[in-house]
Structures are given as structure tokens and as C-alpha cells.
Amino acid sequence: MALIIAGERSGVGKTTVTLTLLASLRRRDRLVQSFKVGPDYIDPMFHQHVTGRACRNLDPVLTSEAYVQQCFAHHSQLSEYALVEGVMGLFDGIGHRAWDIGHGQEKQKSTDFASTAHIARLLDLPVVLVIDCSRLSGSVAAIAHGYCSFDPRIKIAGVVLNRVGSDRHLSLLKDSLEPLQLPILGVLRRQDNITIPDRHLGLVPTAELPELNALIDRFADLGDACFDWQHLLPLLKSEPLPHPPPCGKLKLHPAYLRSPVRIAIARDRAFNFYYQDNLDLLQQLGAELVFWSPLEDARLPQNVQGMYFGGGFPEVFAQQLAENTSARDAVKTAIMTGMPAIAECGGLMYLCEQIIDFEGKSWSMAGVLPTSAVMGGRLTLGYRRAVALQDNLLMKAGTTVYGHEFHRSSLTSTPSQPLFETSRYDCEENMGCEGWGLPANVHASYVHQHWGESVEIPQQFLKDCLKVKY
């Protein structure tokens, strides 16, 4: 048993409700494991800051339905309570295509694939529905009834009423909901609303919020006062399974164990978009992860054989990155002398010649890729089906991977030999070619990947890293 926090649409306060619950549980010294539906990086940072445990992403597009089930079962067994934060509205997903093997034809399988409802069905978990009540009263019952009856496979355990105004407003809401006999598990007042700063790609990450601990204390205070804990705690309880399925238990090739591989992981305020499962896989395959900061450190860590640059906000810290010339030079020298490097999105931007920020100012970067990253107003967002056009650092030509793009930058030039031909996940709409694989020891792409069902990718990376001698 565990709970999923869902919204009737985006922006209703799912993250606020989730963080108040997590903070209040931790104040009670409860061990709690959190999960996040979808490809999000920033919400899990807040989860981890509160719980002290890495939040796990549940995304059947980037991994698979089986992986979602295994990952949840494995990690929820390691804690006393478990809580899942949903994505968008409860039934907001994407079209999912499946091959009808018997007829050899493609058919539509689902329109809510990868939605919060899909995850609730996969994990057989009850849902708490968060409703924004700021502009309604009696209509709340119609909304709640619609969500309860739309898919009978989804069990709505109760509702949380968010942004409630006066006592009279609350009374109207309760009177409207009473015929449904649907428990009200929490009430958050309009004046209780706690705002987390945001910017062009969502919330400001935890590392940039100096008052974060005070903010979490406010969440805990709110959680203590606003929830019906007598009903919530039994629902949140994570009961041990008699035979929990394994998650991430790999059959390791002996070569990885005989010779540990040291990988430099760029992690600071500029680079912090990593799936914890990816880092875990590298370690399970025999890698020693060495974290460093392209913002603060003058050089790469000693004796490393590979580099991994995740996404993040290099555009926000472009001046500081540019001013750290010794780090930029060290990265370029290492790559040009053959060290393998993975660079996703923000990492790709760092390997460019320049970043041109929102104000049009140019900042020098590592200069590995003969292009510049230019910030703009257009948001590129969505799941991608990517087919490798050539053998590259991570995979063979023809390999298909599934990933996610989320950025407001574009490159001033395209590679002569791109890594991928990409299309939207839910249809055949071609999204063009992208990704840099020259030098051959570089894999730089806007497409974020989760390796949970693609263990061969980190295996190939470490195999190449083993060739680097220090």
C-alpha cells in the first residue's frame, strides 16, 4: 500500500501537497520513499532534500511497464511509508502505439499511457485527488464525481481541497461533497499557499535556494495542521511483499569487476539533472563515481577515465562557467586526447564553443563542438523516439532509444554526421536529426535517456572508458 498524489489538472498544487506530506512525515522521524511520475528532474530534488532518500522516477516511456513495477516494489520495501507524486492531470498521458502481432498492423493502445492514472493501475495504488478550489464551490462535487467514475479501475481514496478561502467557502465545499461520501483528507487554505520560485524550465532547483530548510519547515507546519493523519497514515504504510521483485539486479560482465572505472560526474548548480537509477547502474557495473564542479573546481578529478555531464542550467551560470577557464581547458584536453564523455542537454551546451544567454551575451564554453547554444523563447518539449544513424560511443547504428527533450536553447549549426534521427513518441512526426558524435569518444545530445531497460548503454560506455589509462 502507498498513495499517489494526483491533480485534476496541472498547477493545482500537487507538489505543494506532496512536500507537505513528506515534510510532516520526516518531522515524525518516519522513513519514507518518494517517487515521481514522468521524466521530471527538479521535483525529485525537493523530495530528496526532505526525505534524505533519492526519489525514483516512474516512467514507462523511458523504461517499461515492468520496470516501473519492479522499481516501485524494490524501493518501497526499503522504507516505512511510500508516496508517489503524479504528473499533470490524473488522466493526462500520451497516445501509445502497440503492434498487433497477429495481424501485423499498428493499432492505438491507449490515450493515457504514462499518465498518473496509468501508474496507479500498474501499481494498484489508491489516488488522492488534489482540487484547486479557488474559483469554485458547489461544482467541486461534479469534478470529484467525474474523476471517481471516469475509470472504474482507479480508486480515489479521497480529496485534498487546495486554495480554500473563508470558513463559509469550506462549508459550501463540504456540503457539496457530502453526497459522494468521499473523504476529505486535507484542506489547504489560500493564505497557506507556499510559493517555490520558478523560472523558464520550472521550479528553481534546491541547490539555489538558501532558505530551503526554512521553507521545508513551513511545509511541515502546514502538513501537521492541514491533513487527516488518522486516515492518511494507514494508506501511506508500505507493507512488505512476501517475494518482492528485483529492480536493477544486473548480471555483470566479469571485466567490469576486475578493473574499476573512475567516472567524473559534473554535479553542481549548473549540472544536476540525473536519474538516480542511471548513477546506480554505473556503480553496479563497477564504476566509481567521482563528483566534481565545472563551476568551482579548477581541474578534473584525478585518475578519471570518463566524464558524464547531465542537464541543468548552464545558461544561468554561463558567466561563472566561462570564467573558470582551467576547468574548460581540462575538459577539452581530456576529450581531445580520447576520454569518453556523455553530455546531455545542458552538458551538450557546455561542450559548445559558446552559450548565448537570454540577453544576447556570449560566454565561452569548452569548445569541443563547433557550434553555439543560443537561448530563446521557444520551448522544445516531449518524448522522442531516436534511431542511431551511425555507430557511436553508446550504441550501434540502427539502435532505437526513447528519451525526452526539455530545453529553450538551439544550436547555431547542425552536425555533418548527427547521432539520431528523431520523431515524436506518439506518432510518426519527424523531429529532425540531432546529436554530436565527433570526436568519436563524445555522445552529446539534447535527448535525456533513462538506462533502466537499456543496460547495454552504460556497459558500452564503461567498456570504452576501460581503454583510458591513467
Q: In the structure grid, which three cell numbers stand for residue 370, read together? A: 563547433
Q: At 300, which amino acid appears?
A: L
Cell numbers found for residue 71: 522499481
Rounded to 5°, angle at Cα 367 from 365 and 368: 130
Cell representation of residue 255: 571485466
Contacts of 162 (CB under 8 A, 6+ apart): 12, 13, 16, 17, 130, 131, 132, 133, 134, 188, 193
| Residue 318, amino acid | A
Q: Which residue from 72, 365, 435 is spatially nearest to 244, judged by alpha carbons?
A: 72
Contacts (Cβ under 8 Å, ≥6 apart) of 221: none
Work out whether the CA dihedral 353, 354, 355, 360 comes out positive or negative: negative
> What is the rounded distance in angstroms from the CA atom of residue 327 to the CA atom of residue 446?
22
3-state DSSP call for residue 14? helix
Any idea what DSSP says for residue 198? Answer: E
**Which of 345, 427, 433, 465 is the catalytic position?**
345
What sign results for the dihedral spanned by CA atoms 384, 385, 388, 393?
positive
Q: What is the dihedral of CA 146, 148, 150, 152, to 10 degrees?
A: -160
Inter-residue long-range contacts of 201-204, CB under 8 Å, 24+ positions, other chains counted: 201/42, 201/313, 201/406, 201/407, 201/408, 202/42, 203/15, 203/42, 203/43, 203/46
Residues with Cβ within 8 Å of 226's Cβ and at least 6 positions away in sequence, in order, are 20, 186, 187, 188, 189, 192
Q: Are 371 and 363 in contact (CB under 8 A)?
A: no
Cell of 168: 463559509
Distances (CA, A) of 310 to 111, 146, 168, 404: 31, 41, 49, 13
Distance CA 309, CA 212 (A): 25
Is 55 a catalytic site residue? no
Inter-residue contact 5 to 168 (CB < 8 Å): no
Query: Chain-centre distance of CA 307, in angstroms?
Result: 21
Active site residues: 345
